[in-house]
Amino acid sequence: MHDPEIWTSDRIRNEFFDYFKNKNHTFISSSSTIPLNDPSLLFANAGMNQFKPIFLGTVEPSSERSKLKRAFNSQKCVRAGGKHDDLDNIGKSPHHHTFFEMLGNWSFGDYFKKESIAQSWEVLTTPDLEAKQYWLDQGIPEDHIVPGNAKDNFWEMGKTGPCGPSSEIFFDRVGHRDASHLVNKDDPDVIEIWNNVFIQFNREADGKLKPLPSMHVDTGLGFERLVSILQHEHSTYDTDLFRPILTKIQHLTGVRPYEGRFALTFVLSDGGIPGSVGCGYVLRHILRRGTLTARNKLGSPIGSVFSSLVPGHVYPEILKNIKEIQDTLNREEYTFSQVLERGEKLFHQIASSVVQQGMTKISGQDRRIAICNNHTTPLALPHYHLQKRQLLTNKIRYHSR
């Protein structure tokens, strides 16, 4: 990927697809964001989820999937809850999202480490014809290869299931320096963009690793992050993936928007419904946090107009279900706005009584705050108002509802 022309997100995606199509990989459509017949996951959190039966050797022998040797796609991923949870990073990190696209390629008992590393490097760079060893054979200086550990370089989809060691590619936005000490340190300028996972084991319920009958390759390339690099933007929110949404929200409110709209729209289009347990609770949590942000910081409610800005040309299920998505968002927002109004009135009464008693601080564990919380939300409404008035002494603990 070295063409000086403008790298639009569509072009980047298509270049990835074309490369692996030419490498005799089969395109497999993204699975739903809601995993089918897999209670170990709330949401699809990686491209490999739908291939789990192949990795484990449990795929139906007569099915088309059993014949699959090489595959590629762009997977709709949601990381909110479970082992891989990025929800708390939203609004703090320039490259984390509740929803994101994961470009990926897979080998099922076909090629392994050598070919996988070579392909990943060839996609990202001009091939080094003089290279002799992988990764060294790809022209990587030895001091750019950083040893990892089980925490950072052994990938698992959950507490159980297919897993294996991984080899990650990081990009340093600053450049021309030794940034090896910043790898896997959550540095905003040194970010992981591609992970090559070599699926060799199954993590059993007792924690033991059982070797799989075949060795497989599972790679994941952060699409939004790659787009930001090729478009020379420090934040993924400044790329053409998010700019139309940001522009629309800024036009309506004058301030920065809430990213969770992407995750909500995609999961709702896949049949997700806000509720009180499991993935439904996480959806409601995201929606209510967004409503609270819109109410307290943007000065206006979230309008369903933004769901129409999500890329329907890539994921047509968005356009197919747009009316249902908007109706669900509006219904949930209206219900929550009524709860907020009651809770805010109660909170102001409590806060006023605290001030009248001559108190300058109140504990987040105070019974009065618990009462207020029960009338409002498991989110941060009391916390927000207390911090705004500088009355809070310690963080409020919320229970799920």
Residue 401 lies in a domain: no
234 and 247: one domain? no
Which domain-ending residue is among 175, 206, 238?
Answer: 238
d(CA 359, CA 57): 65
Q: What is the predicted pLDDT for the residue at 164?
A: 92
188 and 79: one domain? yes
227 and 348: one domain? no
333 and 295: one domain? yes
Residue 278 lies in a domain: yes
d(CA 330, CA 310): 17
The confidence band for 69, taking pLDDT boundaries of 50, 70 and 90, is very high
**Helix, strand, or coil (residue 254):** coil
Residue 400 lies in a domain: no
94 and 190: one domain? yes
Which domain-ending residue is among 238, 262, 288?
Answer: 238
State pLDDT tens for residues 339-357.
777 777 777 777 777 777 7
Residue 393 lies in a domain: no
337 φ, ψ (degrees, to nearest 5): -65, -35
Q: What is the predicted pLDDT for the residue at 400?
A: 36
Residue with more model confidence, 358 or 110? 110
Residue 297 lies in a domain: yes
Which domain-ending residue is among 217, 238, 259?
Answer: 238
103 and 136: one domain? yes
pTM score, two decimals?
0.70
191 and 43: one domain? yes
Q: Which amino acid is at 264?
A: L
Residue 363 lies in a domain: yes
**Residue 321, CA distances (Å) to 267, 268, 312, 325, 326 in order:** 11, 8, 10, 6, 9
Whether 204 and 56 have beta carbons less than 8 Å apart is answered as: no
Residue 107 lies in a domain: yes
181 and 288: one domain? no
What percent of the chain lies above the pLDDT cut of 90? Answer: 38
The confidence band for 75, taking pLDDT boundaries of 50, 70 and 90, is very high
Q: State mean pLDDT over 101-113.
A: 97
Please state whether 170 falls in left (phi above 0), alpha (psi between -120 and 50) or beta. beta
254 and 193: one domain? no
374 and 278: one domain? yes
Residue 3 lies in a domain: no
232 and 306: one domain? no
230 and 281: one domain? no
**Helix, strand, or coil (residue 125):** coil
Domain carrying residue 129: 9-238
Mention every residue, 6+ apart, whose C-beta is less than 8 A from residue 44. Answer: 31, 32, 33, 34, 35, 50, 75, 76, 77, 78
Q: Which amino acid is at 132?
A: K
Q: What is the predicted pLDDT for the residue at 317?
A: 80
- Which of 99, 90, 94 has its CA nearest to residue 45? 99
Tokens of 52: 């789990």
The CATH number linked to 14 is 3.30.930.10
Q: Which amino acid is at 167?
A: S
Number of domains in the chain: 2
| pLDDT surpasses 80 at 26 | yes
